[in-house]
Amino acid sequence: MPEGPEIKRAADDIAAAIAGKAADEVFFAFDHLKPFESMLAGLLITAVEARAKAMLVRFENGLNIYSHNQLYGKWIIRKAHSYPQTNRQLRLAIHNEKKSALLYSASDIEVLNNDELLTHPFLSSLGPDLLDPQTTVAEVRERFISRKFQRRSFSSLLLDQKFLAGLGNYLRSEIMFVGGVMPNMRPMDCNDAQLDLLAKASIELTRRSYKTGGITNSEERVAELKAANKNRRDYRFMVFARAGKSCYECRSQIQKDVAGGRRFYYCPQCQKPAQ
């Protein structure tokens, strides 16, 4: 499933194609949304925004198309009324005179007014958005030690959008590695230094991934590995998807395991389980 950085990059691409322009035509695949096609056609699209793993296409009349890609949804930008050859099902199309924004395979699509956004079950429950410039390390650290979250294991906590919006599976592994913690640990098991590292890593790695198109390693390490003729698979992550390879910090072998039904990767030397 795409994580916050990927959704925001997709929103940027969609905004470049359709924001600030009138939607000549809007198509919905679902019958209950059909009445909105005529209501939205001809209206100016004022913005395209990422909200954690969801997206909003905002119109000048106060209506918004909400979508969540879930596991299989995919946005594609094409020339106006040009469709790719695919076995995916088209769920939403927004056309202007030059471009078409096409959403395939997603099933979670709604049309909401501005007031409804405030009470939407998913949007209204989101934690601080790690890609929001206003979100600070101090704010994130407070989330880790709050009564609501401090007793939960990192395996579930770092996937919960109510905790911090935008995290996902690869970011979970990378943040735990930087913090030196294992999935069975909880924030209340950590010392101040670990909490500081976790809070800082949550923001820095998420924003780095957005900026670099999915890379969480530092710019310096990426340059070093590229100079050694390593490919993207080798230099993209610190530990995620690197089972059996050497840790860049201590040379121990990276391990793979499962927590919360999702795979994670860790260094047995740099990360220690709760005692």
- Write out the catalytic residue numbers: 2-3, 53, 262
Element (H, E) at 262: strand 262-266
- Number of residues assigned to the chain: 275
| 231 within 8 A of 237, measured Cβ to Cβ | no
> What are the structure tokens assigned to 166, written together?
């935008």
Q: How many CB atoms lie within 10 A of CB 193?
A: 10
Report the distance separating Cα 260 and Cα 159, nearest Å.
9
Least Cα distance to 2 among 54, 37, 45 occurs for 54
Least Cα distance to 64 among 94, 95, 104, 106 occurs for 94
